[in-house]
Amino acid sequence: MAIDRRREAGGGGRPLPEENGSVPGAAGGGAAAPPGPPPANAAGAEIQAVPVPPPATACSPLLLDYDGSVLPFLGGLGGGYQRTLVLLTWVPALFIGFSKFSDSFLLDQPDFWCREADGQGNWSASLAPGHANRSGNGSIFPPPGLPTPAGGNASECDCHEWHYRIRAGLVQNVVSKWDLVCDSAWKVHIAKFSLLVGLIFGHLITGCIADWVGRRPVLLFSVIFILIFGLTVALSVNVTMFSTLRFFEGFCLAGIVLSLYALRIELCPPVHRFMITMVASFIEMAGQFLMPGLAALCRDWQVLQAVIICPFLLMLLYWVIFPESLRWLMATQQFEASKELILQFTHKNRMNMESDIKGVVPELEKEITRRPKKVCIVKVVGTRNLWKNIVVLCVNSLTGYGIHHCFAKSMMGHEAKMAITHNFYADYYTMAGIALASCLAMCPVVGFLGRRGGLLLFMILTALASLLQLGLLNLIGKYSQLPDSGMSDSVKDKFSTAFSIVGMFSSHAVGSLSVFFCAEITPTVIRGGGLGLVLASAGFGRLTAPIMELHNQKGYFLHHVIFACCTLICIICILLLPESKNQNLPENIPDGEHYTRQPLLPHKKGEQPLLLTNSELKDYSGLHDSAAVSDGISENTTANGMKSM
């Protein structure tokens, strides 16, 4: 009856289109008007009909399937141009390694003593005992050949001339330049804060900018400003100016790290993503290993700072030779720029356009007038699964880097008597060697167990090392006090060192793998923001080290207990993550929602899986509407039936 009334309202018995196929903009709730001359107004003039634009249609799925269609058309990593770009993302990792570990040399607490002149102009050494242990990892003792006076006191900090013996290969560093000892020692920790806080803010802000304007502009402007601020650091006239400029240097360094990480991930096919990322990590560690030799050659902290920053001058050439991320251009529907870049790739690789079997370029020309569609990281709040995955990996990153400092202090000793060695280079290379061994172990473990399985294994090792160190060592300490126990403090120290090495080994892997995992499961349109969040979380974890030093290790045990509890929570949450090994990178937010949790171990033949696959989810009523079932996941519908913002 309703259809008959609509026909009468349409002016006759002519059949009308169905409701879902009605003409947009027609009167009568979608009823079509009969053909005839256009209506006239009172003066007899014809009224011109205003054309109604067609409804927005979804983008071609061929163009959004970058790993399945666009990247094979360009030759994957087989093309020489792609290999050159990957190599260009590796080279700056050496400079980044220099900058990240420069604090160990610029702000190292030296051995220091006071020299006082008697009435005849002869100099004698006097000590200020205990101040070095409160201010950092240095110690106060006179140089060889000078007598050690008996009975020093805190009043000897009132000294007019301090003399230093720097252990980090430099003749002068920031501490000796401005006498940051005794009552001024807290300024050293503020200077350490400045670089880390700059990195945290830089990751958060440059990540959002990289999603909006692109990876290439963020990289190039970060290089320009790190040259300005980094070289100005070497010209600092006081510690306040030094700390302020180090904040901005860290901010710009964060933009370089984040943009290169995103570009590296987006250049690679699924099979090579992890190994190419690990190569960059090894190159960065090479900078860590070479840093002591560089400091010994420079001798002065200002020269060292300039030598660390000057190599970034080479990256100014990236303005000419490094293009924007093609994957990001395609995901944000900037098809005109994408077409130009594809032609550039084919020209550099000397490819024939006839190899375009799937018709990427013709399909691109059809969509070339489409408006760009950029997304901010805040849109992830409206998702159902994606925001949970990012939060879990941020907590993992925070826990991994935060508890790493607890293990390091247990091994090196938060008191002088617990230190395994007083040699600066032995301590430095021990830490670097453990990090290198961790990265070497990650390669076969992640290749065999996948991202989620590898992260779970390393987190379990971290939790075990932490709990055993907190619980077992206290038990050993109790029994060592008994006269017939046969245990001594040396046994406790050996166990503590062993657990600390295992904990540092596994926690470093947890932090590194969490960052990589987040880069893979975050969609391309918001990958910069997702990387910024997880890298900022890692920065907060590293920030606990100077905070504990500033408070003279007060609350160290509670600090370790809190992070040990976090490891247990993370073990449970890791099981909720999807597996991204050999999977295509998600390009938009619905693709990120489509990443579903899978069983940790494959089920046996004949065994009913507990978790449904993606194809089975489509057949389950209530998760998808009719359009999503017939046409796949639409542009505005996630895999769980949620509407993207």
The CA–CA distances, whole Å, from 552 to 21, 139, 181, 480, 578 equal 73, 14, 14, 27, 41
Name the residue type at position 502: V
Examine the pLDDT at 215 and tell me if it is beyond 90: yes
Give the whole-angstrom CA distance, residue 358 versus residue 543: 50
Task: For CA atoms 314, 319, 322, 327, give the dihedral sign.
Answer: positive
> Which tokens sit at 13?
């018995």
Tokens 């093609």 belong to which residue?
Answer: 326
Q: How far apart are CA 531 and CA 259, in angstroms?
A: 9
- Asked if pLDDT for residue 606 goes beyond 80, the answer is no
pLDDT > 90: what percent of the chain?
A: 35
Q: What confidence score (pLDDT) does residue 115 get? A: 65
pLDDT in tens, 272-289: 999 999 999 999 999 999
10, 33 contact by CB (below 8 A):
yes
Per-residue pLDDT at 85? 92
Task: Please give the residue that has the higher pLDDT: either 306 or 349.
Answer: 306
Q: Give per-residue pLDDT as tens, 532-549.
A: 999 999 999 888 877 777
pLDDT tens for each residue of 624-634: 443 443 444 44
Radius of gyration (C-alpha) of the chain in whole angstroms: 31
CA separation (Å) from 506 to 29, 268, 435, 495, 562? 65, 27, 9, 17, 18
For the ranges 47-56, 326-335, 351-360, the maximum mean pLDDT occurs at: 326-335
pLDDT in the model for residue 549: 72
HSE of 504, CA atoms in CB hemisphere, 13 A: 22
Token code pair at residue 582: 């050999």
More confident call, 162 vs 187: 187
CA 235/CA 188 separation, integer angstroms: 18
Q: Which of 196, 97, 136, 103 is nearest to 543 (CA)?
A: 196
pLDDT of 254 > 90? The answer is: yes
Question: What integer pLDDT is reported at residue 570 of this predicted model?
Answer: 92
92 against 18, higher pLDDT: 92
For 156-207, give the DSSP string. GG--S-EEEE-SSS-SB-HHHHTT--GGGTHHHHHHHHHHHHHHHHHHHHHH
Side chain identity, residue 458: F
DSSP-assigned letter for residue 525: G
In the prediction, which pLDDT does 193 show?
Answer: 87
Tokens, residue 103: 């604090």
371 vs 359, higher pLDDT: 371
Give residue 617's pLDDT.
Answer: 45
Query: How many residues make up the chain in this entry?
Result: 645
Q: Comparing C-alpha atoms, which of 219, 315, 200, 210 is closest to residue 260?
A: 219
Nearest C-alpha neighbor of 71 from the set 279, 215, 266? 266
- Averaged pLDDT for residues 144-156: 41
Give residue 225's pLDDT. 95
Cα 174 from Cα 353, distance rounded (Å): 59
Model confidence over 44-53: pLDDT tens digits? 444 444 444 4
Q: Which tops the pLDDT comparison, 179 or 252?
A: 252
Amino acid 71: pLDDT: 84
CA distance 299 to 158: 28
Distance (Å, whole) CA 321 – CA 343: 15
pLDDT at 474: 66
Of 169-183, 376-390, 499-513, 546-560, which range is least confident? 546-560
**Can you tell me which residue has the tokens 């997304």?**
375
Number of H helices, E strands in the chain: 26, 3
Higher pLDDT, 415 or 599: 599
The better pLDDT of the pair 217, 51 is held by 217
Q: Which residue has the tokens 């205990």?
A: 130
Strands (DSSP E) contained in 46-142 are 111-117, 123-126
Contact residues for 102 (Cβ-Cβ < 8 A; gap 6+): 291, 304, 305, 308
Name the nearest CA neighbour of 430 among 512, 505, 542, 541.
505
At 564-590, the pLDDT tens digits run: 899 999 999 998 898 888 888 998 888
Tell me the mean pLDDT in the region 600-615.
Answer: 54
Residue 604 binned pLDDT confidence (cut-offs 50, 70, 90): low
Residues whose CB is less than 8 angstroms from the CB of residue 375 and which lie 6 or more positions away in sequence, other chains included? 211, 332, 525, 526, 588, 589
Comparing 38-52, 389-403, 570-584, 585-599, the range with the smallest average pLDDT is 38-52
Contact 507, 455 (CB under 8 A): no
Taking the CB of residue 415, how many other CB atoms lie within 10 A of it?
9
How far is 317 from 311, CA to CA, in rounded Å?
12
Angle at 188 between CA 182 and CA 192, to 5 degrees: 160
**H/E element, 228:** helix 215-233
Kind of pairing between the strands at 111-117 and 162-165 = antiparallel
> What band does 390 get if pLDDT is binned at 50, 70 and 90?
very high
- Centre a 10 Å sphere on the Cβ of residue 88 and count the other Cβ atoms it contains: 18
CA–CA distance, 233 with 89 (Å, rounded to integer): 26
- Global pTM reads 0.78
Report the half-sphere exposure of 61 (CA within 13 A, side-chain side). 8
From 576-585, 605-614, 619-628, the region with the lowest mean pLDDT: 619-628
Give the mean pLDDT of 243-270: 93
243 or 41, which is more confident: 243
pLDDT for res 475: 66
Residue-wise pLDDT tens digits, 69-116:
888 888 777 778 889 999 999 999 999 999 999 888 888 887 777 765
Q: Residue 342: is it exposed, middle or buried by C-beta count within 10 angstroms (0-12/13-18/19+)?
A: buried
Query: Which are the contacts of 439, defined by CB distance < 8 A and separation ≥ 6?
Result: 278, 281, 282, 285, 508, 509, 512
Element (H, E) at 26: none
Q: What pLDDT shows up at residue 529?
A: 92
Q: Is the dihedral of CA 436, 440, 445, 450 positive or negative?
A: positive
Share of the chain above pLDDT 70, in %: 69
**pLDDT score for 407:** 86
The residues with which 125 forms a beta bridge, in sequence order, are 115
Indicate whether 29 pLDDT > 50.
no
Q: What is the pLDDT of residues 470-527, one digit of tens each?
A: 877 666 656 555 555 555 666 777 777 888 899 999 999 999 999 999 999 999 999 9
Q: What CA–CA distances, in Å, run from 374 to 202, 336, 525?
A: 21, 15, 7
Report, in this order, helix, strand and coil percent for the chain, each rounded to 5: 65, 5, 35
What rounded mean pLDDT belongs to the chain?
A: 76
Contacts of 393 (CB under 8 A, 6+ apart): 514, 515, 517, 518, 521, 534, 577
Which carries the bigger pLDDT value, residue 409 or residue 377?
Answer: 377
- For residue 99, what pLDDT is reported? 92
73 vs 120, more confident: 73
Tell me: pLDDT of 33 over 70: no
Give the model's pLDDT for residue 639: 40
Side-chain-side CA neighbours of residue 74 (13 Å):
27
Please state at what angle helix 386-412 crosses helix 527-550, rounded to 10 degrees. 30
* CB of 257 closer than 8 Å to CB of 131: no
* pLDDT of 263 above 90: yes
Exposure b/e, 632-643, CB count within 10 A at least 16 = b: ebbeebbbeebe
Enumerate residues 6+ apart whose C-beta is below 8 A from 607. Answer: none
